[in-house]
Structure 1
């Protein structure tokens, strides 16, 4: 084979190799822009495949995921976004929904944004519900311990009857202080014992009277 022939073959092979490298790089790091996209579910993953976020409609929203294993889907009829930690375990989410049942009643209406403690349940939840069973909205702060039942410590919000409420509880989840302002505007502060019995009440516009 002549020198010129060898150079031509070498040049062709080198050009092909460079093209493969460049195209591989573009394929790996390419970005694409869309004006609009219609999907039922989007999975966000780490380079190693670990699932970190799911955005889905109500039909495709997953059950609780623990270290990459999905549990049976129970009582989760909403659409939304599920957050997962570095190990692929659910640690919060944003869900929302609302519809009428066969009787024309509003059900599953509302939204919730929650954040979970590592390897346990939620510690903070911002929630609003307004359907045939419940009408409330507020912020809940909870003690969450692995393999133990949650203990709500603070609730700030509006209750079913329209009362604005601040409720503070002890480590056992027992309510100890209530601050309430009902829709008629009369403020009340209740101090409770460990059995839930009111020990002292401060009421009235001047907050000075007590019994």
Structure 2
């Protein structure tokens, strides 16, 4: 009897082992294992594809990456903020979400910002929702821009921060002339620094052609402008 029972137990153990091994193998292949955490403190989180391609970074200021192009990280000329950066299938930055704000030693607010942007492929942002404050001057709104068709000079921008101001200007002028860098404003809707609310529409060269504005005192008007910036017609509540 004991020998028969022993054989049954051995057989049962083998079945259970097979089932568990299969379950663990299936879980490993499907990637369905989920860890639940109540709270964590981190300085940076990287989200990657299974092949290692970086798709998202959530970071504090110190560990925020520079300019990443196809997986290579180049120094950023002026990025100093915390937030989230998004990357396309090639591992190149294509948008972000950042926030910041600080006071000086006297308690005065010297800078505050919130920024959500969407980048053109291998270029800078073409759609941005932004709030900015500097020394009491505030501007908030949605901006739409055109960017050059060519890719940004990613590798060369990595050396930009080490140059003297005059050399930096010369390099920027060169990139703009080569149509690898530049910003052509096309539309803005929001609040301007003079506390007016405005809608600005510009042509393909970035020249304002229609301005719809309500000033802080309530005065409202729609202005049409020529290529030189001269107002050719104004429509207002008092115009005929």
Q: What is the CA distance between 1:60 and its match in structure 2?
A: 1.1
Structure with the larger RCO, 1 or 2 (CA within 8 Å, 6+ apart): 2
Alignment match, 1:97: 100
Identify the residue that residue 188 of structure 2 maps to in structure 1: 155
* Partner residue, 2:212: 179
Given the alignment, which residue of 25, 42, 55 partners 1:39? Answer: 42
Looking at secondary structure, tell me which structure has more strand per residue: 1
In structure 2, what is the equivalent of residue 115 of structure 1? Answer: 118
Deviation at 1:104, TM superposition (A): 3.8
**1:57 to 2:95 alignment:** no
Distance apart, 1:29 and its partner CA: 3.9
Shift of 1:148: 4.2
* Residue in 1 that maps onto 2:225: 192
Task: Give the helix-richer structure, 1 or 2.
Answer: 2
Q: How many residues align?
A: 200
TM-score (norm 1): 0.84
For 1:72-109, what per-residue CA distance to the aligned partner results, in whole angstroms no more than 9, with x for missing partners?
03322211000100000000000000011345442331
Q: 1:152 to 1:84 in 2, by over 3 A?
A: same
Query: Quick check: 154-163 or 19-28, which moved more?
Result: 19-28
1:170 equivalent in alignment to 2:203: yes
Distance change >3 Å, CA 13–CA 72, structure 1 → 2:
farther
Establish whether residue 144 from structure 1 lines up as the match of residue 147 from structure 2.
Answer: yes
Alpha-carbon spacing, 1:108–1:13, altered in 2? closer, same or farther (3 Å): farther
Structure 1 window deviating more from structure 2 (158-167 vs 16-25): it is: 16-25
Q: Which moved more, 1:162-171 or 1:17-26?
A: 17-26
Larger deviation, residues 16-25 vs 71-80: 16-25
In structure 2, relative to structure 1, the CA distance for the partners of 1:114 and 1:15 (3 Å cut) is same
Greater shift in the superposed pair: 49-58 or 25-34: 25-34
SS at match of 1:31: coil
Structure 1: gaps spanning 5 or more residues: 1-11
What's the counterpart of residue 6 of structure 1? Answer: none
Query: What is the alpha-carbon root mean square deviation over aligned residues?
Result: 2.5
User: Unaligned regions of 5+ residues in structure 2, if any?
Assistant: 1-12, 151-179
Distance 2:136 2:74 in 1: 27
After TM superposition, give the deviation of residue 19 of structure 1 in Å.
6.3
